[in-house]
């Protein structure tokens, strides 16, 4: 494992405050692996033997039932996923596959649970992380139940814009097919949503989105801090 990869893992909220000794123990037990694109890393229902950390690339968390499939989250570097299954030692509720070639750190769940029992700072960090995850899903739920498909797309663009520096020029970092599934709609409908948003101050050219009239877009999207704010 490269030194700066190790540093970026250490910098995560989850690992930042634990003792150096315990962090080293975790890293020694862990495997850093490189996977090609479109490889299934975990499958819904499997037991949670590892905590996963996306070090490089990107992972899609999705779920399947009765032939249908939906994307539940996109995990970008550097973040962990399936912490809840790991700490509860219960089967995964989601499957996960690489979107592109990715580097993933696999930390054995038994080590996570052992150190959770002995390292107060780590235990506290897990609480913070889980609470954060919970709130993110709740927001996502509200987004889905309280907004139409076009509104969800509009607010997604607004959130991208904030993360990209509020200059009105944003680039889609995931494919439109994935984005559609994440937002709970079909790819065809996403295409049409972009067309609708042309009359609300947005123009889309491939992965490049330009917000020509931010006020107009915001007036349509009606962003809500308790759905869209990433920080709280």
Contacts with DNA, residue ranges (CB under 7 A): 148-150, 175-177, 184-192, 194-195, 204, 206
Complete DSSP assignment for 43-65: -TTS---EEEEEEES-EEEEEEE
The Cβ of residue 214 has, within 10 Å, a number of other Cβ atoms equal to: 14
204 binds, among a copy of itself, DNA, none (CB under 5 to 8 A by kind): DNA
The answer to whether 123 contacts a copy of itself (rule: CB under 8 A) is yes
Look at residues 190, 185, 188 and name the one whose alpha carbon lies nearest to residue 202: 190
Is the Cβ of residue 18 or residue 153 nearer to DNA in the bound state? 153
Among 141, 169, 207, 219, binds a copy of itself (CB under 8 A): 141
DSSP letter for 229, please: -
Q: Which does 106 bind (CB under 5 to 8 A by kind): a copy of itself, DNA, none?
A: none
Q: Using the minimum distance from each CB to DNA, give the nearer residue, 96 or 115.
A: 96
C-alpha pair distances (Å), 70 with each of 27, 66, 96, 113, 162: 33, 11, 12, 30, 26
If contact means CB under 5 to 8 A according to the sort of partner, which of DNA, a copy of itself, none does residue 77 touch?
A: none
Task: Say whether 102 sits in a helix, a strand or coil.
Answer: strand
Give, as ranges, the residues between 5 and 24 that touch a copy of itself (CB under 8 A).
none
Question: Quick one: residue 113, left, alpha or beta (phi over 0 = left, psi -120 to 50 = alpha)?
Answer: alpha
Question: Judged by CB under 8 A, which of 88, 163, 177, 208 binds a copy of itself?
Answer: 88
Q: Which does 192 bind (CB under 5 to 8 A by kind): DNA, a copy of itself, none?
A: DNA
Q: Distance (Å, rounded) from C-alpha 157 to C-alpha 130?
A: 26
Q: Which does 120 bind (CB under 5 to 8 A by kind): a copy of itself, DNA, none?
A: a copy of itself
Among 3, 20, 28, 65, the residue binding a copy of itself under the rule CB under 8 A is: 65
Q: Using the rule CB under 8 A, is 28 a contact of a copy of itself?
A: no
Establish if 133 lies at the interface with a copy of itself (CB under 8 A): yes
SS3 97: strand
């Amino acid at each position: 494992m490269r030194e700066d990869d190790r540093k970026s893992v250490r910098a995560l909220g989850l690992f930042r405050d634990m003792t150096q000794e315990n962090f080293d123990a975790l890293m020694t037990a862990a495997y850093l692996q490189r996977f090609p694109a479109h490889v299934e890393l975990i499958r819904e229902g499997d037991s949670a033997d590892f905590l996963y950390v996306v070090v490089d690339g990107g992972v899609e968390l999705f779920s399947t039932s009765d032939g249908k499939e939906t994307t539940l989250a996109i995990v970008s570097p550097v973040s962990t996923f399936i912490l809840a299954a790991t700490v509860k030692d219960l089967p995964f509720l989601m499957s996960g596959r690489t979107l592109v070639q990715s580097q993933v750190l696999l930390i054995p769940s038994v080590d996570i649970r052992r150190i959770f029992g002995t390292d107060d700072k780590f235990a506290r960090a897990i609480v913070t992380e889980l609470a954060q995850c919970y709130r993110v899903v709740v927001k996502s739920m509200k987004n889905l139940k309280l907004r139409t498909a076009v509104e969800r797309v509009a607010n997604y663009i607004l959130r991208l814009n904030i993360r990209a520096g509020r200059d009105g020029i944003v680039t889609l970092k995931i494919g439109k097919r994935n984005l559609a599934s994440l937002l709970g709609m079909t790819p065809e409908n996403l295409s049409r949503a972009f067309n609708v948003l042309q009359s609300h101050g947005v123009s889309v050219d491939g992965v490049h989105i330009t917000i020509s009239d931010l006020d107009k877009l915001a007036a349509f999207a009606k962003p809500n801090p308790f759905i869209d704010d990433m920080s709280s």
